[in-house]
Structure 1
Amino acid sequence: MSLDAQHVERKLPDLSDPLWYSGDRAEELWASLRERTPLFRTERETGDSFWSVLGHPLANAVLRDSETFVSSRGMRLDSPPAPTAQAAGRVLIVSDPPRHGSIRRIISSAFTPRTVRRLESTIRRTASDIVDAAVAEGDCDAVQMAARLPVSVICDMLGVPREDWEHLLHQSMTAMNSGGDREIEIEANSEILAYYEHLVRLRRKDPGDDVVSALIHGAVDGVPFTDEEIILNCNALLSAGNETTRHSMVGGLLAFIRFPGEWDRLRDDPGLMPTAVQEILRYASPVLHVLRTAVKDTRIGDEAVADGDKVAVWLPAVNRDATVFDDPDRFDAGREPNRHLALSAGPHFCLGSSLAVMEITVLFEELLKRVDRAELTGEPRRVRSNFIQGYETAPVALRRRTA
Structure 2
Amino acid sequence: MAVATAPNGAPSGRRSDMSFGAHSEWKSPDLSDPLVYTEGDAEALWAAQREREPVFWTDRAAAEGFWSVLSHPPANDVLRDSETFVSSRGMRLDSPPVPTADAAGSVLIVSDPPRHGSLRRIVSSAFTPRTVRRLEATIRTTAVSIVENAVAAGEFDAVEMAARLPVSVICDMLGVPPQDWESLLRLSITAFGSGGDREVEIEANSEILLYFEHLVKLRRKDPGDDVVSAFVHAEVDGVPFSDDKIILNCNALFSAGTETTRHASVGGLLAFIDFPGQWARLRENPDLMPTAVQEILRYSSPILHVMRTAVADTRIGDREISAGDRVAVWLPAVNRDETVFDDPLVFDVGRDPNRHLALSAGPHFCLGSSLAITELGVLFEELLKRADHAEHAGTPRRMPSNFVWGFETAPVRLARRRAE
With normalisation by structure 2, the TM-score equals 0.93
Residues 127, 366 of structure 1: 8 Å contact kept: yes
The code of the aligned residue for 1:53 comes to: V
Structure 1 residue 182 corresponds to structure 2 residue 198: yes
Q: What secondary structure sits across from 1:246 in the alignment?
A: helix
Structure 1 residue 138 corresponds to structure 2 residue 135: no
1:23 is displaced (CA, Å) by 4.0
1:9 is displaced (CA, Å) by 4.9
The code of the aligned residue for 2:306 comes to: V
Residues 315, 341 of structure 1: 8 Å contact kept: yes
Structure 1 residue 289 corresponds to structure 2 residue 305: yes
1:177 is displaced (CA, Å) by 3.0
1:127 is displaced (CA, Å) by 0.5
Query: How many Å separate the matches in 2 of 1:149 and 1:304?
Result: 44
1:83 is displaced (CA, Å) by 1.2
Q: Where does residue 203 of structure 1 map in the other structure?
A: 219
Q: Where does residue 68 of structure 1 map in the other structure?
A: 84
1:78 is displaced (CA, Å) by 1.1
Query: How many Å separate the matches in 2 of 1:173 and 1:52?
Result: 29
Structure 1 residue 347 corresponds to structure 2 residue 327: no
| 1:18-50 alpha-carbon deviations (Å, 9 max, x no partner) | 111114621111110111121011111225211
The code of the aligned residue for 1:295 comes to: V
The aligned runs of 1:242-261 (5 Å cut-off) are: 242-261=258-277
Q: Where does residue 378 of structure 1 map in the other structure?
A: 394
The code of the aligned residue for 1:246 comes to: R
The aligned runs of 1:47-62 (5 Å cut-off) are: 48-62=64-78
Q: For the structure 1 residues 315 and 9, does the alpha-carbon distance in structure 2 shift closer, same or farther, using more than 3 Å as the test?
A: farther
The aligned runs of 1:111-190 (5 Å cut-off) are: 111-190=127-206
1:181 is displaced (CA, Å) by 2.3
Residues 8, 32 of structure 1: 8 Å contact kept: no
Residues 196, 400 of structure 2: 8 Å contact kept: no
1:245 is displaced (CA, Å) by 0.5
1:72 is displaced (CA, Å) by 0.5
Query: How many Å separate the matches in 1 of 2:88 and 2:192?
Result: 25
Residues 168, 192 of structure 1: 8 Å contact kept: yes
Deviates more, 1:250-259 or 1:8-17: 8-17
Query: How many Å separate the matches in 1 of 2:285 and 2:345?
Result: 22
1:94 is displaced (CA, Å) by 0.4
Residues 376, 396 of structure 1: 8 Å contact kept: yes
Residues 8, 29 of structure 1: 8 Å contact kept: no
1:179 is displaced (CA, Å) by 2.7
Structure 1 residue 324 corresponds to structure 2 residue 335: no
Residues 70, 333 of structure 2: 8 Å contact kept: yes
Structure 1 residue 228 corresponds to structure 2 residue 244: yes
With normalisation by structure 1, the TM-score equals 0.97
Q: Where does residue 26 of structure 1 map in the other structure?
A: 42
Residues 126, 227 of structure 2: 8 Å contact kept: yes
1:8 is displaced (CA, Å) by 9.8
Query: How many Å separate the matches in 2 of 1:35 and 1:185?
Result: 37
Q: For the structure 1 residues 18 and 47, does the alpha-carbon distance in structure 2 shift closer, same or farther, using more than 3 Å as the test?
A: closer
Q: What secondary structure sits across from 1:286 in the alignment?
A: coil
| 1:44-94 alpha-carbon deviations (Å, 9 max, x no partner) | 122521100001000000000000000000100111111111111110000
Query: How many Å separate the matches in 2 of 1:349 and 1:9?
Result: 38
Query: How many Å separate the matches in 1 of 2:40 and 2:219?
Result: 45
Q: Which among 336, 348, 370 is matched to residue 352 of structure 2? A: 336
Percentage of matched positions with identical amino acids: 74
Deviates more, 1:372-381 or 1:23-32: 23-32
Q: What secondary structure sits across from 2:344 in the alignment?
A: coil
Q: Where does residue 300 of structure 1 map in the other structure?
A: 316
Residues 176, 185 of structure 1: 8 Å contact kept: yes
Residues 294, 307 of structure 1: 8 Å contact kept: yes
Query: How many Å separate the matches in 1 of 2:181 and 2:401?
Result: 27
1:183 is displaced (CA, Å) by 2.5
Query: How many Å separate the matches in 1 of 2:39 and 2:124?
Result: 38
Name stretches of at least 5 consecutive residues in structure 2 with no aligned partner. Answer: 1-19
The code of the aligned residue for 2:386 comes to: R
Query: How many Å separate the matches in 2 of 1:172 and 1:21?
Result: 22
Residues 8, 33 of structure 1: 8 Å contact kept: no
Q: Where does residue 10 of structure 1 map in the other structure?
A: 26
1:330 is displaced (CA, Å) by 0.4
Q: For the structure 1 residues 272 and 193, does the alpha-carbon distance in structure 2 shift closer, same or farther, using more than 3 Å as the test?
A: same
Q: In angstroms, what is the RMSD of aligned CA positions?
A: 1.4
1:244 is displaced (CA, Å) by 0.5
| 1:347-373 alpha-carbon deviations (Å, 9 max, x no partner) | 000000000000000000000000111
| 1:266-324 alpha-carbon deviations (Å, 9 max, x no partner) | 00010000000000000000000000000011111111100000000000110000110
Query: How many Å separate the matches in 2 of 1:156 and 1:143?
Result: 21
